[in-house]
Amino acid sequence: MESSLPNKFNTCIVIVTYNPDSSFVNNVVRHLEIVDKVSIVDNNSVVDIKSLLPNKYLNKIDVIFSEKNKGIAWALNKGISEAIKLSYEWVITFDQDSLPDIKLLDYYSEVLKKEKNIGLLGTKFSDKTENIDKITWKNSLTLITSGTLHPIKIFDFIGFYNEKLFIDSVDFDFALRVKIAGYNVVRIEAPLLSHKLGTPVKKYGLESSNHNLIRRYYYSRNHFFLTKTYFKKFPVWILKKNFFFIKSILLLIIVEDNVSAKLKNIVKGINDGYKGF
The three-state DSSP-derived secondary structure of 137-159 is EEECCCCCCCCEEEECCHHHHHC
- pLDDT for 150 equals 98
Q: Can you tell me the distance from the alpha carbon of 105 to that of 120, in angstroms, rounded to the nearest whole number?
A: 14
Are the C-beta atoms of 277 and 227 separated by less than 8 Å? Answer: no
Q: What is the rounded radius of gyration, in angstroms, for the C-alpha atoms of the chain?
A: 19
Q: What is the pTM of this model?
A: 0.95
- pLDDT for 93 equals 98
- pLDDT for 197 equals 73
* pLDDT tens-place string over residues 99-145: 999 999 999 999 999 999 999 999 999 988 888 989 999 999 999 99
* pLDDT tens-place string over residues 252-277: 999 999 999 999 999 999 999 988 88
Q: How confident is the model at residue 2 (pLDDT cuts 50, 70, 90)?
A: low
* Whole-number percent of the chain with pLDDT over 70: 99
Amino acid letter for position 231: F
Strand partners, 11: 90
**Stretch 235-260: mean pLDDT:** 97
Answer whether residue 198 shows pLDDT above 70.
yes
**Stretch 220-231: mean pLDDT:** 96
Q: Can you tell me the distance from the alpha carbon of 45 to that of 68, in angstroms, rounded to the nearest whole number?
A: 9
- pLDDT for 138 equals 97
- pLDDT for 3 equals 74
| CA pseudo-torsion sign 73, 75, 79, 81 | positive
Are the C-beta atoms of 160 and 82 separated by less than 8 Å? Answer: no
CA–CA distance from 94 to each of 76, 181, 241, 273 (Å)? 9, 24, 23, 26
For the chain, the straight-line distance linking the first and the last C-alpha, in angstroms and rounded, comes to 34
Q: Can you tell me the distance from the alpha carbon of 146 to that of 139, in angstroms, rounded to the nearest whole number?
A: 17
* pLDDT tens-place string over residues 177-190: 999 999 999 999 99
Strand partners, 124: 191
Q: Can you tell me the distance from the alpha carbon of 205 to that of 115, in angstroms, rounded to the nearest whole number?
A: 42
CA–CA distance from 140 to each of 66, 97, 249, 273 (Å)? 33, 24, 26, 25
- pLDDT for 19 equals 94
**Where do the DSSP E strands lie in the chain?**
11-17, 37-42, 61-65, 90-95, 98-100, 118-126, 137-139, 148-151, 184-195, 201-203, 206-208
| CA pseudo-torsion sign 208, 213, 217, 219 | negative
* pLDDT tens-place string over residues 26-73: 999 999 999 999 999 999 999 999 999 989 999 999 999 999 999 999
Q: Which residues touch 53 (CB under 8 Å, ≥6 apart)?
A: 25, 28, 61, 63
- pLDDT for 262 equals 97
CA trace torsion 206, 271, 269, 160 (10° rounding):
120
